[in-house]
Amino acid sequence: MSNEVLYNTQVISFLEELWGDGFLSPGGSDEVDKVLEGINIKDQRVLDIGSGSGACAILLAKNYLAKTVVGIDVEPPVCEAAQARILAAGLSEKISIELVSPGILPFENVSFDVVFSKDSIIHIPDKAALASDVFRLLKPGGHFAASDWLISHGGTPSPEMSEYIKAEGLDFAMASPSEYEEALFKAGFIEIELVNRNPWYSKIAAKELEWLKGSDRQGLSKRYGKEFIDHQIEIWMKLVGVLKSGEHCPHHIRAKKPSES
């Protein structure tokens, strides 16, 4: 990973305009609801990996009534945005945001009841190491619940997918559903469940592209700069293509640490 900040204030503002206040990923609270389906958060200690600008951590504390939420992220601008949002929401006693270095998660064994993550593990190349680290942090019977952007196969990405990943310029390390499944299984997880969200996000991304190219384009160019918006349109055109082919396949990923381990 380079030292360049990828989610700078311009990117944060643009993504929040696209996806909602405090969200740097699509779907808002509806998607978080689906990721957390069947998992009890009330009175639980929750870790949010890649907490971004904080909307998910706030939902976990405010709507799901988590006991505590620790959000971790690797970039200062998103951590500052999240801290300001949490302070404004009056939730500083329940939610803490920590700026961490990539790598081993800096917490003691069995520190959390639930580990959550929304569209952030794409930035973490070693899925096997992450899975065993999450397993280490969870209490027996604890849950891992995440969404992430996956590639449909373990082979060489198609030229279209390579072009898309290059255009994003966001350090993407996409893995296939079977790589995730194997990483979670080898770490010791049970009840591993992967749900393909491609059919949902294909439709949404096509609408996002229409919005970018439509009557708001001029206003967006004024706010973020013409070059920035032209580049986003270029990214979204490639994104819509690889979603349509099915090679880009966002997933929900859930797994449980056995009660006796």
Residues lying near ligand SAM in the complex (CB under 6 A) = 7, 23-25, 49-52, 55-56, 72-75, 78, 102, 118-120, 123-124
Q: Among candidates 71, 74, 75, which has minimal Cα distance to 60? A: 71
Sign of CA dihedral 114, 119, 123, 127: positive
Cβ nearer to ligand SAM, comparing 118 with 127 = 118
Cβ nearer to ligand SAM, comparing 129 with 217 = 129
The answer to whether 186 touches 128, Cβ cutoff 8 Å, is: yes
Cβ nearer to ligand SAM, comparing 129 with 233 = 129
Could you give the CA distance from residue 18 to residue 150 in angstroms, rounded to a whole number? Answer: 21
Calculate the alpha carbon distances from 96 to 32, 38, 152 in Å: 19, 25, 35
Cβ nearer to ligand SAM, comparing 23 with 112 = 23
Cβ nearer to ligand SAM, comparing 73 with 208 = 73
- Phi and psi dihedrals of 69, rounded to 5? -130, 130
Could you give the CA distance from residue 64 to residue 58 in angstroms, rounded to a whole number? Answer: 9
Classify residue 37 by its DSSP letter.
Answer: T
β-strands 45-49, 68-73: how paired? parallel
The answer to whether 196 touches 251, Cβ cutoff 8 Å, is: yes
- Phi and psi dihedrals of 199, rounded to 5? -60, -40
CB of 166 to ligand SAM, least distance (A): 17
Cβ nearer to ligand SAM, comparing 72 with 255 = 72
Cβ nearer to ligand SAM, comparing 121 with 220 = 121
Q: Which residue is nearest to ligand SAM (CB)?
A: 52
Rg (CA), the chain: 18
CB of 121 to ligand SAM, least distance (A): 8
CB of 218 to ligand SAM, least distance (A): 27
Q: How far is CA 185 from the centre of its chain?
A: 21
CB of 27 to ligand SAM, least distance (A): 9
CB of 90 to ligand SAM, least distance (A): 20
CB of 222 to ligand SAM, least distance (A): 25
CB of 133 to ligand SAM, least distance (A): 11
